[in-house]
Amino acid sequence: MEQTLSGCVFSRPQRIMLLTPDAGLRDMLFSLWGTGEVEWTHYEHGRGAIEHLFTEPPDLLIVDNDLPDIKGLEVASIVKSENVYRQLPIILAASEAAVAESSWCGVEVDDLLITPSNPTRVKALIFLTLARASRSFDANPLTRLPGNSSIIQRIQEMMDRKEDFALAYADLDFFKSFNDKYGFSRGDEVLMMTARVIVTTIRSFTGVKSFVGHIGGDDYVFILPPDVVEAACQRVVASFDSIVPHFYDEEDRVRGSIVSTDREGAIKTFPLMAISIAVVFNEGGRLSHYGQASQIATALKKKAKEDKKSCYVLDSRGRNAAREDQA
Amino acid sequence: MQKIPLNLAKPGMVLAKPVPRQDGIVVVASGTEITEGLIDKLESMEVETIVVEGNPVNMDGVMAGSSYAARVGRLDHLFRKFPDDPWMGRVKEMFRGYFTIKAASGPAETPGETPPKSGE
Amino acid sequence: MEDDLKTERKGQLLAVKDLPTLPAVLDEVSKLVARPESTTEQVARLISMDQVLSAKVLKMVNSPIYGFPGRISSVSHALMLLGFNVIRGIIVSTSVFEVMTKNMVGLWEHSVATALASSTVARACGLRDPDEYSVAGLLHDLGKVVATVQLPELKTAIESLVKEKDLTYLAAEKELLGFGHDRINAWLATHWKLPPNIKEGMDHHHSPQTAQLYPEMAAVVHLADFLARLYEFGSGGDDNVPFVQPEAFKILKIKPKDLEAICDTLGERFVEVSDLKFS
């Protein structure tokens, strides 16, 4: 398996903590990658490692079931029982005999390394476990789309590589009033539907680099090449507008609005939800930090929200500036 | 309107739907009056069926919807489970009237033309 | 009928894994989906002519996994939410009936006719979302298809009984199965979490006067089924028109005579689809 960690999935060296008294295992693992790819921390005992684990959690923990002072499984369960470390992937290294004897009820490790093993298998196992963890680590619990950290990381990567791309921020107008009337459960349904509409539309542009993320609540992000992003926005708007009325009760759907009374007894009317999209362009390496992009997007979003209906606003100044730079 | 095989087309009929080529491009617009020359052209294009205004061709039992006379004939059979029901009887007679008029009005729908006598 | 036997048959019916469709249909849809320039609208239109593919697509998009069960009642919306990848997956994993009978083809044609009639009636009555009525019309006999797949010997027996005793298909079902395809529809629609209006169109089309939540839907499909049988476009399993419930007209606020104008439009629509290939 010739994949290097960097350039394939990861943009920085992965930190792996190894808890084992087995020198052979340690040596084999250390030989799998160069220091630029993996930074190893090694302990021969469990207890001393635990504090280090908590203060500086690694990207992956490999723990030998056969530690002298505490069972590997117990270390795993101590770690996993704390919500802040639940996402930390743990591989248990154990002999086949030990595995056969163990009860797996309630065991919280993410994968198993049966020793003795060979470098090819072990390398693949570690690589895939790290990759899987990076996919799910900040996945939005509702839509399973990548969350804020992954989004920022992706944007920054593309800026660092000076790739041309369009970055779209989408959110829903009048989502709060919908939630207030219909409850969070139905609100969640709308969020799932919106995620699907965005994902299917973006995926329909085949053969191009794309990305969809869910920042949280009703905020989504997608990335597409600059020349197709407008078509994508049009499709997202059209699909959303035609589907969202079906999440309202008949009366509201027919009227085209929600009517509610606030605490003071005043009657307030809210239109059906609409989707607003702000699109920022990064062409010719114009932007260098994701913060710049989100600043531009915030300004564009204000404009988009002036229209109560679904709409998208393109950062035209950005496009023209890029074109002028190249002229 | 009526869908007919090209070999029953006669001059004077009027296209109710456009005729497309294999690739979908329209070659004859709807509303065009059929002439011998047009029939030849459509034959060379290997067009098999066309849709014309009205019901100029009497095609017994070819397909539902195009033969109103056949519809009239089937009514008693279709309604046979309700021989004594006054309501269903009224429904049946209403449709008998409707289909009969449709069947009779076919040729008259292209006023001023002699209805082509084919298939009779 | 014995409750135990009914429950057993219900279980068998709901256990349906892979509804097959007609070879000609699958062939055309597969070709369309394989072409890169095909649009979602084209695919939706073609799928909307096939009761099995439409049912599969609606069942999938209304599955709890997608997060909004019971909300989606149109094939084009389903396609917007499922995407080409998933649709292709459904099509690729759909099989065809090994033994094709004339009855099957007739049933498919009848379902399309009822779909067309449903949207025509719905539009004429000024109802919103006529496409949803079309879906309910398309699926109104799905129970018969599922019974064919899951209870094949009973299906054959039903067909024989229809011939021998000149019964309606529904009457023969009730005699041999203990329940009709409308009941099967109710079970399917609930199990698959189809939207409640579609469900009521499917399970109350024989008795729209008893529909509680969506009487217009039931009434529209009821009249549509009658019209499709009147024109004998395809076959619902017997050559009878059903009893037309007077209530249906009251629910839709129309008079029997209004059906004539509806038939003017419907006749033309039937001509338009007459070259749909089902065999």
Cα gap A152→A156, rounded to integer Å: 6
Q: Would residue C109 be called left, alpha or beta, if left means φ above 0 and alpha means ψ between -120 and 50 degrees?
A: alpha
- The verdict on a CB contact (< 8 Å) between C83 and A197 is no
CA distances from C157 to A289, B84, C103, C162 (A): 73, 30, 14, 9
Cis peptide bond prior to A116, omega within 30° of 0:
yes
Which pLDDT band, with edges at 50, 70 and 90, does C36 fall under? confident
The predicted structure's pLDDT at residue B108: 31
Q: Write out pLDDT tens, residues C97-155.
A: 888 788 889 999 999 999 999 999 999 999 999 999 999 999 999 999 999 999 999 99
Q: Residue A290 — φ and ψ, nearest 5°?
A: -60, -30
Cα gap A38→A59, rounded to integer Å: 10
Q: Write out pLDDT tens, residues A112-121.
A: 999 998 999 9
CB-nearest partner of C270 from B64, B74, B98: B64
A169 beta partners: A221, A278
Which pLDDT band, with edges at 50, 70 and 90, does B114 fall under? very low
- Indicate the average pLDDT of chain A: 90
Q: Which helix (H) or strand (E) holds C237?
A: none
Strands of the sheet containing A211-216, edge to edge, are A211-216, A219-224, A165-173, A274-282, A311-314
The predicted structure's pLDDT at residue A320: 56
Partner A contacted by C72 (CB < 8 A): yes
CATH classification code of A148-326: 3.30.70.270
DSSP assignment, residue B25? Answer: -
Partner A contacted by C68 (CB < 8 A): yes
CA nearest C195: which of C113, C142, C132? C132
Q: Write out pLDDT tens, residues B18-57.
A: 888 766 788 888 899 999 899 888 888 878 778 888 877 7
Percentage of chain A modeled with pLDDT above 90: 67
pLDDT(A14) > 60 = yes
- Chains contacting B (3+ CB pairs below 8 angstroms): C
Cα gap C66→C36, rounded to integer Å: 26
CATH classification code of A14-136: 3.40.50.2300
B26 beta partners: B20
Chain position carrying tokens 């048959």: C9
- The verdict on a CB contact (< 8 Å) between A200 and C81 is yes
Q: Write out pLDDT tens, residues A296-307.
A: 999 999 999 899
Percentage of chain A modeled with pLDDT above 70: 94
- Per the CB < 8 A criterion, the answer to whether A139 and A151 are in contact is no
Partner A contacted by C102 (CB < 8 A): no
Read off the tokens for B117.
């006598």
State whether residue A99 is helix, strand or coil: helix
CA distances from C234 to A295, B30, C230, C264, C273 (A): 62, 28, 10, 19, 12
Which pLDDT band, with edges at 50, 70 and 90, does C263 fall under? very high
Which pLDDT band, with edges at 50, 70 and 90, does C10 fall under? very high
The predicted structure's pLDDT at residue C236: 93
Cα gap A217→A220, rounded to integer Å: 8
State whether residue A15 is helix, strand or coil: strand
- Per the CB < 8 A criterion, the answer to whether C232 and B74 are in contact is yes
CB-nearest partner of B79 from C241, C263, C268: C241
Residues 6+ apart with CB under 8 A from B11: B33, B34, B35, B36, B39
Residues on chain B touching C266 (C-beta within 8 angstroms):
65
The predicted structure's pLDDT at residue B48: 74
State whether residue A216 is helix, strand or coil: strand
A165 beta partners: A282
- Per the CB < 8 A criterion, the answer to whether C51 and C141 are in contact is yes
Partner B contacted by C229 (CB < 8 A): yes
- The verdict on a CB contact (< 8 Å) between C81 and A204 is no
Q: Write out pLDDT tens, residues C46-92.
A: 999 999 999 999 999 999 999 999 999 999 999 999 998 899 889 98
A93 vs C2, residue with greater confidence: A93
CB-nearest partner of C83 from A143, A203, A242: A203
The predicted structure's pLDDT at residue A20: 95
CA nearest B2: which of B83, B86, B72, B58? B58
Going C34 to C38 to C41 to C42, the CA torsion angle's sign is negative
**Residue of chain A with shortest Cα separation from C41:** A239
The predicted structure's pLDDT at residue C18: 82
Q: Which domains does chain C have, with CATH numbers?
A: 18-92 (no CATH), 102-273 (1.10.3210.10)
- Which amino acid type is present at position A71? K
The predicted structure's pLDDT at residue C2: 77
ipTM: 0.91
**Residue of chain B with shortest Cα separation from C234:** B64
Nearest CA-CA distance, residue B80 and chain C, Å:
7
Interface of C with B in 159-188 (CB under 8 A): 168
Nearest CA-CA distance, residue A243 and chain C, Å:
7
- Chains contacting C (3+ CB pairs below 8 angstroms): A, B
Q: Which helix (H) or strand (E) holds B2?
A: strand B2-5
CA nearest A281: which of A147, A169, A157? A169
Q: Residue B85 — φ and ψ, nearest 5°?
A: -90, 115
Nearest CA-CA distance, residue C84 and chain A, Å:
7
pLDDT(A133) > 60 = yes
- Per the CB < 8 A criterion, the answer to whether B63 and C274 are in contact is yes
- The verdict on a CB contact (< 8 Å) between C68 and A189 is yes
Give me Rg for the CA atoms of chain C: 18
> First and final CA of chain B: distance in angstroms?
19
- Per the CB < 8 A criterion, the answer to whether A223 and A158 are in contact is yes
Partner C contacted by B6 (CB < 8 A): no
Q: Write out pLDDT tens, residues C218-230.
A: 999 999 999 999 9
- Which amino acid type is present at position A30? F
The predicted structure's pLDDT at residue A321: 53
Spell out a b/e string for A126-144, using b for 16 or more CB atoms within 10 Å of the CB, else e.
bbebbeebbeeebbbeebe
- The verdict on a CB contact (< 8 Å) between C66 and A192 is yes
- Indicate the average pLDDT of chain C: 93
Nearest CA-CA distance, residue A223 and chain C, Å:
18
pLDDT(A68) > 60 = yes
Residues on chain C touching B77 (C-beta within 8 angstroms):
239
- The verdict on a CB contact (< 8 Å) between C84 and A193 is no
| Angle (nearest 5°) at CA C134 between C131 and C137 | 160
Residues on chain B touching C232 (C-beta within 8 angstroms):
64, 74, 78
The predicted structure's pLDDT at residue C243: 96
User: Using H for helix, E for strand and C for coil, what is the string for C109-157?
Assistant: HHHHHHHHHHHHHHHHCCCCCHHHHHHHHHHCCHHHHHHHHHCHHHHHH
The predicted structure's pLDDT at residue A2: 53
Cα gap C28→C34, rounded to integer Å: 10
The predicted structure's pLDDT at residue B22: 67
- Which amino acid type is present at position A214? H
CA nearest C82: which of A193, A271, A184, B11? A193
Residues on chain C touching A203 (C-beta within 8 angstroms):
83-85
Q: Which helix (H) or strand (E) holds B4?
A: strand B2-5
What residues does each domain of chain A span?
A: 14-136, 148-326
Partner A contacted by C148 (CB < 8 A): no
The predicted structure's pLDDT at residue C51: 96
Partner C contacted by B80 (CB < 8 A): yes
Q: Give me the half-sphere count of Cα atoms (radius 13 Å) on the Cβ side of residue C41.
A: 2
CA distances from A13 to A30, A61, A119, A154 (A): 14, 15, 20, 16
Cα gap A58→A304, rounded to integer Å: 42
pLDDT(A152) > 90 = yes
Helix pair angle (C51-61, C23-34), 10° resolution:
60
Helices and strands: H and E segment counts in chain C: 15, 0
- The verdict on a CB contact (< 8 Å) between C275 and B94 is no
The predicted structure's pLDDT at residue A323: 52
Residues on chain C touching B65 (C-beta within 8 angstroms):
231, 233, 266-267, 270-271, 274
What pTM does this model have? 0.82
Disruptive mutation site among A186, A203, A239, A251 for chain C (greatest number of C CBs within 10 Å): A239
Nearest CA-CA distance, residue C243 and chain A, Å:
31
The predicted structure's pLDDT at residue B115: 33
User: Using H for helix, E for strand and C for coil, what is the string for A54-80?
Assistant: HHCCCCEEEEECCCCCCCHHHHHHHHH
- Indicate the average pLDDT of chain B: 77
